[in-house]
Amino acid sequence: MKKVLFLGLGYIGLPTAAVAANHGFEVIGVDVNPVVVETINQGKIHIVEPDLDQMVKEAVQKGNLRSVLKPEQADAFFVVVPTPFKQNHRADITYVESATRSVIPFLKEGDLFVIESTSPVLTTERMAEVIFKERPELKGKIYIAYCPERVLPGNTLYELVHNDRVIGGINPESTEKAIEFYSAFVQGKLHRTNARTAEMCKLTENSSRDSQIAFANELSMICDKAGINVWELISLANKHPRVNILQPGCGVGGHCIAVDPWFIVSDYPEQAQIIKRARETNDYKADWCANRVVEACQQFVTENDREPIVACMGLAFKPNIDDLRESPAKYIASRIISESRAEVLVVEPNISKHPSFNLTDYREAYQKADIVVWLVCHTPFMELPREEGKMELDFCGVRKGI
Ligand X SMILES: NC(=O)c1ccc[n+]([C@@H]2O[C@H](COP(=O)([O-])OP(=O)(O)OC[C@H]3O[C@@H](n4cnc5c(N)ncnc54)[C@H](O)[C@@H]3O)[C@@H](O)[C@H]2O)c1
Do 333 and 311 meet the contact criterion of CB atoms below 8 Å apart? no
Q: Which stretch binds ligand X (CB under 6 A): 7-15, 186-194, 223-231, 264-272?
A: 7-15
Min dist CB 97 to ligand X, Å, is 9
Q: Whole-number minimum distance, CB 308 to ligand X, in Å?
A: 38
Exactly one of 147, 223, 250, 256 is catalytic; which is it? 256
Provide the sign of the torsion angle of the four alpha carbons 287, 289, 293, 299, taken in this order: positive
Is 166 a residue that touches ligand X (CB under 6 A)? Answer: no
Residue 48 and residue 155 in contact, taking contact as beta carbons nearer than 8 Å: no
Cα 94–Cα 95–Cα 97 angle in degrees, nearest 5:
65
- Contacts (CB under 6 A) with ligand X, residues 231-260: 256
Choose one: 10-18, 133-141, 229-237, 385-393; the region binding ligand X (CB under 6 A): 10-18
Could you tell me which stretch among 11-19, 56-64, 224-232, 331-339 binds ligand X (CB under 6 A)? Answer: 11-19
- Alpha-carbon distance 308 to 314, whole Å? 19
- Interaction between residue 10 and ligand X (CB under 6 A): yes
State yes or no: is 390 an active-site residue: no
Q: Which residues neighbour 130 within 8 Å (Cβ) at sequence distance 6 or greater? A: 97, 100, 101, 104
The type of residue at 41 is: N
Site for ligand X in 117-156 (CB under 6 A): 117-118, 149, 151, 153
User: Catalytic annotation on 202?
Assistant: yes
Among 43, 82, 319, 401, binds ligand X (CB under 6 A): 82
What is the C-alpha to C-alpha distance for residues 285 and 295, in angstroms, rounded to an integer? 15
Cβ nearer to ligand X, comparing 39 with 174: 39
The C-alpha atoms of residue 123 and residue 195 are separated, in whole angstroms, by 9
Polymer length of the chain: 402
13 part of the interface to ligand X, by CB under 6 A? yes
Binding residue for ligand X, selected from 3, 23, 24, 33, defined by CB under 6 A: 33
Q: What's the rounded Cα separation, in Å, for the pair 328 and 333?
A: 9
Binding residues (CB under 6 A) for ligand X: these are 7-13, 30-33, 36, 80-83, 95, 98-99, 102, 117-118, 149, 151, 153, 256
Q: Point out the residues that are catalytic.
A: 202, 256
